[in-house]
Structure 1
Amino acid sequence: MIDSEAVRLDEPVKALHLEVAEAMSEVAASLQAPMDLDSTLELITRSAADTIPGIVEASISITTRDGEIQTLAPTGPLVSRADALQYELGEGPCLDAALEEPVVVVEDLATDNRWPDFGPKAAALGFGSQVAFQFEAAQPNARGALNLYAGEPGAIDQDSIQLGSMFAAQIAVALGWARQDRTMTEALATRNVIGQAVGILMERYKLDSERAFAFLVRLSQTSNTKLRQIADAVVAQVNENAEH
């Protein structure tokens, strides 16, 4: 016999799973290169806040090369203020997650004695509980955290943690892919300028492509200058002469 009450209770769960699956699919689609990093990160934080039960705001804290920490893709001004408070006070869940702990859960921001200054101030902004997930980006020593804020104390459960960790993993992928994309763009630019320089030398000195490239390599070695810089100089000289 089918328990009708269980069926009714199961329907919202199924609906939630479908909503999360759709959000994940949308984020996954945005990770297909080429992508706009800012838009992708905003999509991830907004999707996390919209689909994880109890979560009302989300943001990303990320360390910079000089050791500072900044917020990316906040879903609203209140979460930006909450993050800024942690940076100003030097304490808080997102700092601990970004720099030390893989996952930091706060059941009640107003009373948690781990952050006596930040907690009450965050509660005054309207946040009851929080969870932060650490991720590592592709760049060495670059770390960050996905910050999820709930409106009520005790709102962070195992489902929140499981779903939040999935969104945090997508942020790490987005940041890694963006850096890879920039590296590939730079490599293509180098290849293109070297190709232009080879073409110029072929025309100027009546060389074939192999000898023209060897000429660039020899210049690079004898002057102790990178091949890209030699190629840039050759192309720049031709452009300058063309302007006169």
Structure 2
Amino acid sequence: MNMPLHETQLVELVTDVAEALKLPLDLDEALRQITMSAVDSIDGIEYASISVTARGGAIETLAPTDSIATKADELQYELGEGPSLDAAITEPVVQVDDLAADPRWPRYGPQAADLGLSSQLAYHFRAEPHARGALNLYGVEPHVIDAEARLLSEMFAELVAVAMGWSRQQGTMNAALQSHQIIGQAVGILIERYRLDSTRAFAFLVRTSQTGNTKLRTVAEGIVADAIRQAQ
């Protein structure tokens, strides 16, 4: 099981994934890099895949890290229910802490548990011009998805969208990387300044953002700028 990431590790991780997204882009390899990096870096996540919808309503799995992820995805397609389908089609994010006990998917949940899965997180993405889908993350233990897992999962979902729509989103890639680096730096500052763990530091950023009705990146930029002023 992986340890929580701190600021320097987060920046290094984003940089490594970005290397796979440089032109000329091999889309299959880029997506594999993203799903493998998600499994390697998100605590409690053992398998990952990407569900992509087509104009006609068909849905397929890309870049699975293991056959179990493929089986779980295909089970949801076959049954017509599940977190991956909900996130690919309508919901921004779907989190499941205990698949066997969750009543939202009465057929899928128990069968996913039979595959050895207990937790699941699915993040919606949309890529120009027409692609949309979900980044699917699976855990074998219940209740392993925390604030840091959600933060990193959102980042990887954004990178999937960028990779799939690269030709029209190069600026988005640069903005996404810069945004997550700033957030990572702010988390690192809070960890050092207030002796918080990474989850609580991120939760502090989120609460400050919500209380002040300010974008998360803006809050992070303020913390980084204040740390620079104090160091001068």
TM-score where L is the length of structure 1: 0.65
1:84 aligns with 2:71: no
Letter in 2 for 1:40: A
- Cα offset for 1:21? 3.0
For residues 110-151 of structure 1, what are the alpha-carbon distances to aligned partners after superposition, in whole Å with 9 as ceiling and x for unaligned? 0100001101111111111111000001023x3100001011
Over 3 Å counting, the alpha-carbon distance change for 1:122 and 1:17 in structure 2 is: farther
RMSD over aligned Cα atoms: 1.9
SS at match of 2:153: helix
Q: Which has the higher contact order (CA 8 A, sep 6+)?
A: 2
1:153 counterpart (135, 142, 148): 142
Task: Give the 5 Å matches for 1:146-185.
Answer: 146-177=135-166
- Cα offset for 1:53? 0.4
SS at match of 2:46: strand
Partners of 1:107 and 1:156 within 8 A in 2: yes
Partners of 1:20 and 1:51 within 8 A in 2: no
2:100 counterpart (103, 110, 113): 110
- Cα offset for 1:32? 1.4
- State the match for 2:127 in structure 1: 137
Alpha-carbon separation, structure 1, partners of 2:60 and 2:102: 24
Q: Could you list the runs of 5+ residues in structure 1 that have no partner in the other structure?
A: 1-11, 182-244
Partners of 2:50 and 2:61 within 8 A in 1: yes
- Structure (1 or 2) with the greater helix fraction: 1
- State the match for 1:50 in structure 2: 40
Q: Could you list the runs of 5+ residues in structure 2 that have no partner in the other structure?
A: 171-232
Letter in 2 for 1:156: I
Partners of 2:3 and 2:43 within 8 A in 1: no
- Cα offset for 1:179? 7.0
- Cα offset for 1:46? 0.3
Partners of 1:78 and 1:125 within 8 A in 2: yes
Over 3 Å counting, the alpha-carbon distance change for 1:162 and 1:180 in structure 2 is: closer
Alpha-carbon separation, structure 2, partners of 1:156 and 1:14: 12
Letter in 2 for 1:161: R
For residues 189-232 of structure 1, what are the alpha-carbon distances to aligned partners after superposition, in whole Å with 9 as ceiling and x for unaligned? xxxxxxxxxxxxxxxxxxxxxxxxxxxxxxxxxxxxxxxxxxxx
Partners of 1:16 and 1:51 within 8 A in 2: no
Alpha-carbon separation, structure 1, partners of 2:38 and 2:128: 22
1:22 aligns with 2:12: yes
> Which structure's CA Rg is the greater one?
1
- State the match for 1:72 in structure 2: 62
Task: Please list every run of at least 4 consecutive aligned residues from structure 1 whose deviation after the TM superposition is greater than 2 angstroms.
Answer: 12-23, 178-181
Over 3 Å counting, the alpha-carbon distance change for 1:53 and 1:17 in structure 2 is: farther
Letter in 1 for 2:37: S
1:119 counterpart (106, 109, 114): 109
Alpha-carbon separation, structure 1, partners of 2:86 and 2:25: 30
SS at match of 2:98: coil
SS at match of 2:23: coil
Alpha-carbon separation, structure 1, partners of 2:79 and 2:5: 40
Alpha-carbon separation, structure 2, partners of 1:15 and 1:161: 13
Q: How many residues align?
A: 169
Over 3 Å counting, the alpha-carbon distance change for 1:14 and 1:119 in structure 2 is: closer
